[in-house]
Amino acid sequence: MDTDVLVRDYLGRLEAAAAALPLARRTELAAEVRDHIDAALAEAGRSDEVTVRNVLERLGSPEEIVAAEAGQAGTPDGAAPASGGGVAGTGSRWGAVEVTALVLVGLAWPALFLPFGLFLWLGLGVVGLVLVWVSAVWSRRRKLITTGTVVAAYVLLVLLITPVRVDCMTGDPPQPCPPGGPVPTIYSGP
């Protein structure tokens, strides 16, 4: 086995993992790691396959090294990701948009007790959903799930509280429907 291949392969993986780092730092990091490998092999006094593998294993995976570069992930002091590093973690803190969106889609139901409550409530819900999609914090997947859930819940609720007068079509004998078809009436309490 040609041990140069092992080293080249490792450095190639490092380069790929570091693709998002600024060019100057990427080049420097590659040189540092290469020098490290050379120094370790020089110290060992041989470069057979076992020695090379051992040296690379002690280095840690290229991905691990780059992760440490990209913001010292997981360090207890919570050092911020390097600005301009390009591998900055996604912020997960909720801002005004997220909180408002959540309140509108989840907690606007008391609006149902106001005049035109159903429309008010649906309107607020739609605004909430728009905010959900405006959010820069939530992922697309999360937005889709939220939208699906909210729309399903709304449809269900509207069906529950909106008995539709359909006897004009299904009555026996069928009655002629008033102009404009079946008219939904909103159930407004006992």
Residues that bind another protein (CB under 8 A): 25, 28-29, 32-33, 35-36, 38-40, 42, 58-62, 64-69, 72-77, 79, 82, 89
In this complex, which beta carbon is closest to another protein, that of residue 82 or of residue 124? 82
In this complex, which beta carbon is closest to another protein, that of residue 141 or of residue 190? 141
To the nearest whole angstrom, how small is the minimum distance from the Cβ of residue 77 to another protein? 7
To the nearest whole angstrom, how small is the minimum distance from the Cβ of residue 93 to another protein? 17
To the nearest whole angstrom, how small is the minimum distance from the Cβ of residue 38 to another protein? 6
Output the CA torsion sign for 80, 62, 55, 35. Answer: negative
In this complex, which beta carbon is closest to another protein, that of residue 74 or of residue 179? 74
Residues in the chain: 190
User: Most distant CA pair in the chain: distance in Å?
Assistant: 101
In this complex, which beta carbon is closest to another protein, that of residue 36 or of residue 165? 36
The closest of 92, 85, 83, 105 to 151, measured between CA atoms, is: 105
To the nearest whole angstrom, how small is the minimum distance from the Cβ of residue 5 to another protein? 19
To the nearest whole angstrom, how small is the minimum distance from the Cβ of residue 48 to another protein? 20
Distances (CA, A) of 101 to 93, 119, 124, 128, 134: 14, 18, 9, 4, 9
Output the CA torsion sign for 64, 65, 68, 69. Answer: negative
In this complex, which beta carbon is closest to another protein, that of residue 42 or of residue 183? 42
Please tell me the distance from the alpha carbon of residue 20 to that of residue 26, in angstroms, as a whole number. Answer: 9
